[in-house]
Amino acid sequence: MLYLAAPKQYLMSEILTAITSENQEFFFKVTKNVPGEFHIVMYNTNYVLIKTEGGWVNKPENKLKMSQRLIDAVVEAVHAQVVH
């Protein structure tokens, strides 16, 4: 078999864990990844996080808003799962 190296991408088939500074664990799955934006499902709720000059934030159209400490934990977990 021939395996080709793929560009860096998130492992969208895995359930990831975000651990906040208070040691709370939240489980989620990345469903879409585009530059400067990624979509996740956390406890049957869809979230879109976007990168701004100030860092990662909720997309204004999100039905529910995620706290900044949880956004930071999610971003850290996603970035830790990048395939090299």
Residue range 25-39, pLDDT digits in tens? 999 999 998 899 999
Residue 1 resides in a domain: no
28 forms beta bridges with: 16
Distance CA(39)–CA(25), nearest Å, equals 19
Residue 39 resides in a domain: yes
Residue 28 resides in a domain: yes
Query: What would the pLDDT profile of 41-80 be if each residue is shown by its tens digit?
Result: 999 999 999 999 999 999 999 999 999 999 999 999 988 8
Number of structural domains (the chain) is 1
Q: Which domain holds residue 68?
A: 15-80
pTM of the model: 0.78
Residue 23 resides in a domain: yes
Residue 8 resides in a domain: no
CA atoms within 13 A on the CB side of 7: 3
